[in-house]
Chains A and B, each alone.
Chain A
Amino acid sequence: MKIPSLILSAAAAACVLGVALPPRAAAMISDEDFNALKSAVTNQDQRIGQQDQRIGQLEKLHEQDQQTHEQDQQTIHQLEQRLGETQQLATNAEQKAESAARIQPVHPVPSGAMSALHNFTMVGDAEVQFGKSQGQHSTFALADFAPIFLLRANDNVLFEAGFDVTLQNNTDSSGNPNGGSSTVVSLSFAQLDYLLNDYVMIVAGDMVLPLGTYSERAAGWLNKIPDNPLSRDLLPGSGVGAQLRGAVPVGQSGQMVTYSVYGANGPSSTDGTGASGMLDLGGNVGDTPNLHSDPSGGGRIGWFFPWKAHYDVELGVSGQSGVWDNAGKRQWSAAVLDAAVHISPYFEVKGEYINTWVQTDDIGTMHPNGGWVQAGYKLAGLNLDLPVVNDIELVSRYDVMNDGLGTKTDRVTAGFVYYLTNTLLFEGDYEWLHSRGPAALPSNEFVVQLSYGF
């Protein structure tokens, strides 16, 4: 039995060795497999390297995002602070508005909510003259700088004021020049206009008086002759008071009836008495009490009839009456008839007749009176098609005045207007003056004038 045991032991040992030792053929790796494995490992290395780079980039981006986030946080914090301040200001403003509303009445705000200066407009005119009277030296003169300030508060309210600025030589008490010059600024008018409705306008202040139409519509550069008609000296140019005026259209043709009714302080006396020669038409306008007992009353009614453009006729009658001496016993009255006719764009004729009655202490009732008629013809109406001639208008005027104290004057004027533009006029005229009486005026005169309306 010993032999089988050996055989079995040998067999078992062989089995153990067979199991313990791997077969040689299985442990062998081919070159192809090795190279493939090597290539795979190399690729893995490259991928790992790329992943590392990406991670590095992402880390940088993250750092930048963190910085941006911190900046955003700071900005948000600042905005929150500002919002808080704004809310505080709004709260304060609201509280102020509420407190203001409690203590102040609410006034109507002008429409458009624009400032007064937005509605400020300046118009007016300026004149420079050169003239020579017989027996005197010729002279240049700044005749006038006359701005008109217009301030419109709204569609119904206007304040307007006109000034006359002139130069004059300084004089001594005797009226002789003593060196230097003075600038004279005078207020022509300053009135507040309120348009009550389509038919009634209320005017108050230092008003241009509707005695005739010359003062309102023909003074300054609007007149085609440099000098005013003599007889306008018989009337006050303006007066302090209040006025109602308006127009009522008649039909659709442009025809209208106009009216003006006013009360004003009226004329006064230079020495307070009712003596002849003491009438003062330009005074009694200050903030002192009226120099006499009662204000004067006056008005104008007019009729305008156009039958087509540039073809029309206008007639008017106006007057004023009131006391003028301090005692209030002497009456000054005036009546004015005015008329104007336009026939074509080239021809016009207009004029006024003025009559006044002045009661006096010494010579009874005086009758200063006068009138003027003026015609103009634009040479463009001749259709000559000549550039210079077409811009010329020939004008002429005849005016008379009786001062009621023995001086009578009549004057014939012939002249021209050359329209450099529609608002820049070169005017010239020669005036033949015939005056006799104790206060006779100087003789003939030659005047040229450059007049600019703006």
Chain B
Amino acid sequence: MKIQKIILWCLSGLVGACLLGLGLTPAHAEPEKKADQKAGPKKLTGAELYAINCNRCHPERYATEFTSAQWKTIMLHMRVRANLPAAQAKEVLKYLQEDSGN
């Protein structure tokens, strides 16, 4: 029981941190929204998402290293392995396929 309590406390702590993060994000974004209401939140490009997600675990791989079909397979693997959101994985895949090898 003691173990389960500790695990529950840890999970609760992390969920709390996540909720805190979610709650803080709009507060930071508010002034930018007022300054440029028409533009809305900037959507990250495939290149930006590639730089954010891929390089934090391994050296960057060049788009020309694999074919378009291979990138499709590898991105499926990475989406599962790194728990990448579907929309982000699609953008990164599109970016890699644009300059993929033959």
Contact = CB atoms under 8 A, between A and B. Distances in A.
Contacts of A148: 77
Contact of A251 (B29, B53, B70, B73): B29
B85 A247 contact: yes
Interface in B1-28: 3-4, 6-7, 10-11, 13-15, 17-18, 21-22, 25
Interface residues of B, number: 50
Nearest to B4: A321
Contact of B80 (A158, A301, A309, A425): A158
Chain A CB count within 10 A is highest, among B49, B51, B56, B80, for B80
A222 B57 CA distance: 7
A423 interface: yes
Contact of B44 (A152, A198, A253): A253
Q: Sort chain A's interface into a size bin.
A: 35 or more
Interface stretch (A59-67, A267-275, A312-320): A312-320
B43 interface: yes
A15 interface: no
Contacts of B56: 310, 312, 314, 340, 342, 348
Given A198-B85, A248-B85, A254-B52, A152 B76 contact: yes
A242 to B, nearest CB: 13
Interface in B81-96: 81-88
B36 interface: no
Nearest to A198: B86
Contact of A218 (B51, B57, B77): B57
Among A256, A260, A312, A337, the one with the most B-chain Cβ atoms within 10 Å of its Cβ is A256
Contacts of A316: 14
Contacts of B85: 198, 247-249, 256
A319 B85 CA distance: 22
Contacts, number: 148
Given A222-B58, A315-B14, A199 B86 contact: yes
A171 B4 CA distance: 44
Contacts of A423: 59, 61
B34 interface: no
Interface stretch (A27-35, A72-80, A118-126, A397-405): A118-126
B25 A150 contact: no
A199 B11 CA distance: 20
B44 A254 contact: yes
A335 interface: yes
User: Interface of chain A, helix or strand or loop or mixed?
Assistant: strand
A333 B7 contact: yes
Contacts of B18: 257, 301, 303
A152 B73 contact: yes
A317 B81 contact: no
Contact of B3 (A208, A258, A321, A422): A321
Contact of A249 (B15, B61, B69, B88): B88
A306 interface: yes
B101 to A, nearest CB: 13
Interface string B47-68: 0110111011111111000100
Contact of B77 (A160, A319, A335, A453): A160
B20 to A, nearest CB: 10
Contact of B14 (A218, A246, A303, A321): A303
Given A203-B80, A248-B85, A335 B6 contact: yes
B83 A246 contact: yes
A250 B44 contact: no
Contact of B62 (A155, A160, A422): A422
B4 to A, nearest CB: 7
B38 interface: no
A303 B29 CA distance: 19
Interface in A385-402: none
A290 interface: no
B10 A260 contact: no
A254 B77 CA distance: 19
Interface of A: 118-121, 123, 148, 150-152, 155, 158, 160, 193, 195, 197-199, 201, 203, 208, 216-218, 222, 245-260, 301-303, 305-306, 309-310, 312, 314-317, 319, 321, 331, 333, 335, 337, 340, 342, 345, 348, 357, 419, 422-423, 425, 453
8 contacts: A119-B69, A121-B70, A198-B86, A203-B80, A249-B85, A254-B88, A256-B85, A317-B11
Question: 7 closest A-B pairs (Cβ-Cβ)?
Answer: A198-B86, A309-B51, A258-B83, A249-B85, A152-B73, A252-B41, A247-B85
Given A216-B82, A317-B14, A321-B4, 11 more contacts: A152-B72, A152-B73, A245-B80, A247-B84, A248-B85, A254-B52, A302-B83, A303-B17, A306-B52, A333-B4, A419-B59
